[in-house]
Amino acid sequence: MDARDGRSSPLATLDAFKRRMGWRVKWVSSLGSDLNHDFHVTFTEDERRGEVDDNCQMRRWGSPEAPGESVFSRDQDGAVSHTYSCYSRGLDAMNGA
């Protein structure tokens, strides 16, 4: 995520941050895909006029982005599995503030 606006960042930006922090886990970017929308953390302008599915409940959400993270795993054959997602208050442990 881009700390400036909460939207997906190009992979080069994520890799630079990863190197600066000394992290070794592989990161990918959802930039240019529908992934964030599919996982209910990015909303279109039309969706924001009504209620959106936010963390398994319908409610009004005025921002184009909601907090959320998802984890995926790839097996030896290359098949990708969605292993975990967390939204809203479940992200408190990651909040550096």
**Domain locations in the chain as residue ranges:** 1-32, 34-94
Q: Predicted confidence band at 2 (pLDDT cuts at 50, 70, 90)?
A: very low
Q: What local confidence, expressed as pLDDT, does residue 54 receive?
A: 79
Q: What local confidence, expressed as pLDDT, does residue 83 receive?
A: 94
pLDDT over 90, % of the chain: 18
Tell me the pLDDT of the chain averaged across its residues.
83
Alpha carbons 80 and 91: distance in angstroms, whole number: 23
* Overall pTM > 0.75: no
CA 24 vs CA 12, 67, 83, 93, 94: distances in Å = 15, 24, 19, 20, 18
